[in-house]
Chains A and B, each alone.
Chain A
Amino acid sequence: MRDALTAFLVCDNDFASLDTRIERESRDFLRKSQHAANVSSRVGAPVSPASGNASFQDQFADDQSVTAFEELDRRRSDTKEVESWIGSLRGQANIRNAARIADRIGSLLGLYQEDYDGKSLSSSSLITFIEFLNIYPESKFPSITATPMGELYVQWKHSENQRLGIQFMVGGEVKWALFKKNQYQEQLDQFSGKTFIRSFKDAAIALGVQEWIVE
């Protein structure tokens, strides 16, 4: 219970964007379960002992339990689950740069452990990123770094300072920031938002940055 309350406080420190906030949808547990199930069925669940994400989530049906799960995930120092998901990503032939991206995340895992006293990257963040790659299987090879919380921060750089950055979070959510040249004044417009991964494509189309992501 203490972990759950702590996690609630952390997650309640919500993000407010400057321009195009897409309202965070309610913490619909069924949606989270569906997300986990979708990913598992698409990419093949890892076989590590700690691989029971979806089934673990299925056992809980309230917001507090979900946030507690997130908190536990973040604190986890066991890298087996992340390594298992990296292996799963590597084997996905439908994703053009799967092996290269998997290699990068593998090396990032080691660097993150060095920086954060042996802690692991967030496996939930990686699951969200893999779901994204299944939506964009033709993705260019992006810049992949970590956030202090162990989430993946992925950037597609277009030209000069134009870029799209996406922070992959638990439960299929993303925060994103876009810096795009204004065609009239040659200045950079900035946009940001928070959305679920399946809704992100609509935003990318509306903002005209699909071709920044795919080859």
Chain B
Amino acid sequence: MNGDILPSTDNVVRLCGGSHLDPDTGSPGPGAFMLREDESYLSVNWLEYFEQRTHEERLLEIRQVLANKRTIGSSARLALLSIGHAIREVGDNPLLFFTHEPIDSPNLVSDLSHSGINNIQSFEILVAEKLAQAVTELCPAKMDS
């Protein structure tokens, strides 16, 4: 982590695969907000990186980037988190911080809105539970064919 801190008034989305969604409610479970073994922060995409766009246009930009990076299942969803709300939901132990972590390398698919949720390792299960509760919007992650 070495990126700029994101404003608490902004929003991020987290890609949630179908295996992390409750089939009855469609909502993401805590597993959607847990780290993979090689991760030091949770990967998300920052909506307001795309300036002068509508909300739907921002989501479309992010869907396109994600589709270039990996296969997106039809059941996958983008879970929207308001940064300030998410930080308040988790509280001060641990205090989360959201950073801009753009991916812009010749060897990787460019992902300039890529960002991270930091400082969750120590209390991962509680943080994951709270972040799952803090989701304010869900929408399909896969591009329309």
Q: Which residues from chain A sit less than 8 Å from chain B, CB to CB?
A: 10, 13, 15-18, 104, 107-108, 111-112, 114-116, 143, 145-149, 153, 155, 161, 163, 165, 167, 175-177, 179, 190, 192
Query: Is B31 a contact partner of A147 (Cβ separation < 8 A)?
Result: yes
- Which residue of the partner chain B has the closest CB to A112? B19
Q: Which residues from chain B sit less than 8 Å from chain A, CB to CB?
A: 17-25, 29-32, 34-37, 71, 73, 75-76, 93, 121-126, 129, 133
Query: Is B24 a contact partner of A143 (Cβ separation < 8 A)?
Result: yes
Considering the chains assembled together, what is the distance between the CA atoms of A108 and B75 in angstroms?
A: 12
Smallest distance from the beta carbon of A138 to chain B beta carbons, Å? Answer: 20
- Which residue of the partner chain A has the closest CB to B127? A177
**Contacts A16-B122, A115-B17, A190-B126 given; does A10 touch B31 at CB 8 Å:** no
Smallest distance from the beta carbon of B74 to chain A beta carbons, Å? Answer: 9
Query: Is A111 a contact partner of B19 (Cβ separation < 8 A)?
Result: yes
Considering the chains assembled together, what is the distance between the CA atoms of A112 and B123 in angstroms?
A: 24
Q: Which listed residue, A10, A108, A167, A175, touches B19 by the CB 8 Å rule? A: A108
Q: Which listed residue, B17, B32, B35, touches A111 by the CB 8 Å rule? A: B17
Query: Is A145 a contact partner of B31 (Cβ separation < 8 A)?
Result: yes
Contact partners of B126 in chain A: CB under 8 A: 17-18, 177, 190, 192
